[in-house]
Amino acid sequence: MAEKQKRLLGVDLGDARTGLAVSDPLGMLANGIGYIKSGHPPKIAEQVLAAAKEYDVSTIVIGNPINMNGTIGPRADKIQAFVELMETMTDIPIVKFDERLTTAAAHRILNETNIKSQKRKTVIDTLSAQIILQNYMDAHRLS
């Protein structure tokens, strides 16, 4: 029987909401677990770390919004500051992962599944976190 591994937590830090996703214990599938209403970064960090503790995660994967041309912009600077804040609050490793086109992919999925605009707002951030985490796990499984 396979040994149980710790889960991974995916985070999509946004202005209005921060989406969260968690992997299964084998690190094969990402599942959305909801979102946090964004606001004061230390409060968001506390809630992310509470989810990490609840799901007993070994690593936190946070989406890093690199520009399409590969440059770092103000959004990526905000993520870096958030990661540095979280690193002062936990020993759990935090990994930034390129999230280019994640939101576009999430919108495409919602369009294909005919999710209407009112419900879309409540699921887009969670779905984005799920896509970030799934892409991270897929990339590391192939390497």
C-beta separation of 33 from 22 below 8 A: yes
Q: What percent of the chain has pLDDT over 70?
A: 78
Q: Tens of pLDDT along 18-51?
A: 999 999 998 899 999 999 997 899 999 999 999 9
Beta-strand relationship, 57-64 and 17-23: unpaired
Using one digit for the tens of pLDDT, what is the confidence trace for 57-95? 999 999 998 767 777 778 889 999 999 999 999 999 999
Q: Hey, what domains does the chain have and what are their CATH numbers?
A: 7-142 (3.30.420.140)
d(CA 52, CA 86): 12
| Cα-Cα-Cα-Cα dihedral sign, residues 134, 137, 142, 143 | positive
Partnered with residue 61 across adjacent β-strands are 10, 95
pLDDT value of position 61: 97
pLDDT at 110: 62
CB 50 within 8 A of CB 9: no
pLDDT band at 140; cut points 50, 70, 90: confident
> Which is nearest to 92 in space by CA: 52, 133, 38, 44?
52
Residues β-bridged to residue 45: none
